[in-house]
Amino acid sequence: MGSAAAGEPLTPRERRIVAGVNAGEVMETGTELSEDDIAAALWVVRGESAADEEVARLLTEIRAASEDKVNEDG
């Protein structure tokens, strides 16, 4: 979680939030959050980014990954 915290130590509240989000991810997908996902969650929690900005970023990443998969398969 080092780079996700951007050099700032996590507060107890942030640790609980990240742990809860990570637990949900494990339950849904069987894998833990990536460092980028943890960083995005912290940006929202810390007020450095709006949740809708993070949704847009994640959708862009998903679309790019889907296009890469189509290109590999095609």
Q: Per-domain residue ranges for the chain?
A: 3-73
Instruction: Tell me how long the chain is.
Output: 74
Listed range (8-12, 62-66, 70-74) with the worst mean pLDDT: 70-74
H helices, E strands: number in the chain: 3, 0
What is the structure's pLDDT at 7?
59
Q: What share of the chain is helix, strand, coil (3-state, %, to 5)?
A: 75, 0, 25
**pLDDT one-digit tens code per residue, 3-61:** 344 557 888 988 888 888 889 888 888 989 888 888 877 877 788 777 787 788 878 88
> Which letter, b or e, does each residue of 56-71 get, where b requires 16 or more Cβ atoms within 10 Å of its Cβ?
eeeeeeeeeeeeeeee
What is the structure's pLDDT at 58?
79
Q: What is the pTM of this model?
A: 0.49
Q: Which residues contact 22 (CB under 8 A, 6 or more apart)?
A: 32, 33, 38
What is the structure's pLDDT at 4?
43
What is the structure's pLDDT at 6?
52
